[in-house]
Structure 1
Amino acid sequence: MTLRIVVCVKYVPVATGDRRFADDKTTDRESVDGLLSELDEYAVEQALRIAEASGDAAVTALTVAPDDAQDALRKALSMGVDQAVHVNDDDIHGTDAIGTSLILAKAIEQTGFDLVVCGMASTDGTMGVLPALLAERLGVPQATLLSEIAIEGDTVTGRRDGDAATEQLRAVLPAVVSVTDRSGEPRYPTFKGIMAAKKKKMRSLDLDDLGLDAAEVGLSGAWTKVEAVATRPPRTVGTIVKDEGEGGRQLATFLAEQKFV
């Protein structure tokens, strides 16, 4: 029986771009370039490794995002993912993590799944709560923050590395897992993979397809919101200490005045 793997990916603003909020206090995604979240590349890599080890598996990349997010899906397809699903609807704008988990769960239920693989967090929101929310929505066990992952029969196993201990986790499929950036370096898309990605299926869904009402998601349905934003003040000119024999004393005095020591 074919193992059905769904890997959740996110289209995020580039880290080096001038990221800011739009007038409605949501992330301004139009004035900055975007890409597949680097942490989600690790999820794609682990999904592909599991599929390769299985010998009979299908990997689907899934995202919830505007039109430009197709670039993130194409990156996943060029890495080796079999097909992609893009949930895109104007009413999704402003959806928070809780709403996103609802949309993803509905889409995953439509595609069918045995294993859902997520990154440890997105590189823009960095919340890291979505895998747990998704597992709750789907009614399946979760094994999060794994640095190693494998499938053994109808069970997913993995290792979670903490500051003081290492845990071995096990969950019966179907399940949701998330992997860290220590799980294995993502592969680079080959020229053959890039060309093959152009022929792979990319399915598009909207809220009607998922049986969701616009009021359940978007800004109106968000459980969290940004109340106020302020532009970061420009950097001030630093204090230059000239060492003419008293540099150490001047530096110590400065640090004490600033209450750094």
Structure 2
Amino acid sequence: MNIVVLVKQVPDSSSARSLSATDNTVERASASNIVNEMDEYAIEEALKLKEAHGGEVTVLTMGPPSATESIRKALSMGPDRAVHVTDDALHGSCAVMTSKVLAAALSRLSADVVLCGAESTDGRVQVMPHMLAERLGVAALTGARSLTADGDRLTAQRQTDDGYEVVTAATPVVVSVWDTINEPRYPSFKGIMAAKKKPVETLSLADLGVDPASLEATSAVLGFATRPPRAAGTRVTDDGEGGTQLVAYLATEKFV
């Protein structure tokens, strides 16, 4: 089974994040960048499929040269190799154009299964797996909380607000997963050392046959502002009329 896992390098959501003042894109150069958390669950699921059915796991990343750090982190978990799509023309790419480039790379890899996190912490739009499935002309099993394979057919429990749906599709297929699907393994020291020697293929837009002129973003951030400081609260001192004052305040805020 040929499995490709999409991995994205994102700013750490536990640290301060900002947009660039020059072009309103996410400031990545000075951020603390990590592997997108949801993608770690996709990596684990890919490794479980490989262990059960054999094959190869490839990590696919689109990002600046610094994304190599996240590629090595992903490889230390157990995948066999990686492909890094990097090109200056990709800066500021929107989801639509990103899906175009990733689809071109996936077409070269001839994957049976494409796995990815259901969303990225820097975008949270949850559209990439659907866009890729449409561009590749394959089925999409999205929002999976469990995944099983039987020959060339995969069955997923699609997580919903009310429970789950059972959906199935034949390979090739795109699968997105939630963090309820497994518990990602920690990279071992052996895995970390082995990752340094695993092959990483670097591809440009020219290598993929994608014209940079065709990648004009379909959306852009027009402006932004930092969150204003929290205003002081209203204190009610009980001098015999505290209850009345409290109810009056709640009424002005339309709580009662």
Same fold (TM over 0.5): yes
List aligned pairs for 1:83-122, cutoff 5 A.
83-122=81-120
Aligned-pair RMSD on alpha carbons?
1.5
- d(CA) in 2 for partners of 1:81 and 1:108? 16
List aligned pairs for 1:204-223, cutoff 5 A.
204-217=202-215, 221-223=216-218
Aligned to 2:44: 45
The residue matched to 2:249 in structure 1 has which SS? helix
Amino acid aligned to 1:90: D
TM-score (norm 2): 0.95
Aligned to 1:236: 231
- d(CA) in 1 for partners of 2:65 and 2:25? 17
- d(CA) in 2 for partners of 1:255 and 1:30? 45
How far did residue 166 of structure 1 move? 2.4
Between 118-127 and 105-114, the greater mean CA deviation after superposition = 105-114
How far did residue 150 of structure 1 move? 1.4
User: Which of 221, 225, 232 is the equivalent residue of 1:226?
Assistant: 221
Aligned to 2:245: 250
Aligned to 2:187: 189
- d(CA) in 2 for partners of 1:253 and 1:190? 60
Deviations 1:84-136 (A, max 9, x none): 11111000001011111111111111122110001010011000000000011
The residue matched to 2:185 in structure 1 has which SS? coil
Between 189-198 and 224-233, the greater mean CA deviation after superposition = 224-233
The residue matched to 1:118 in structure 2 has which SS? strand
Deviations 1:219-242 (A, max 9, x none): xx1111112222221222222334
Amino acid aligned to 2:24: K
How far did residue 156 of structure 1 move? 1.0
Q: Percent identity?
A: 49
Q: Which runs of 5+ in 1 are unaligned?
A: none
The residue matched to 1:147 in structure 2 has which SS? strand
Amino acid aligned to 1:189: P
Q: Which runs of 5+ in 2 are unaligned?
A: none
Aligned to 1:142: 140
How far did residue 165 of structure 1 move? 4.5
- d(CA) in 2 for partners of 1:66 and 1:14? 16
List aligned pairs for 1:17-32, cutoff 5 A.
17-22=15-20, 23-32=22-31
Residues 17 and 165 of structure 1: CA distance in aligned 2, closer, same or farther (over 3 Å): closer
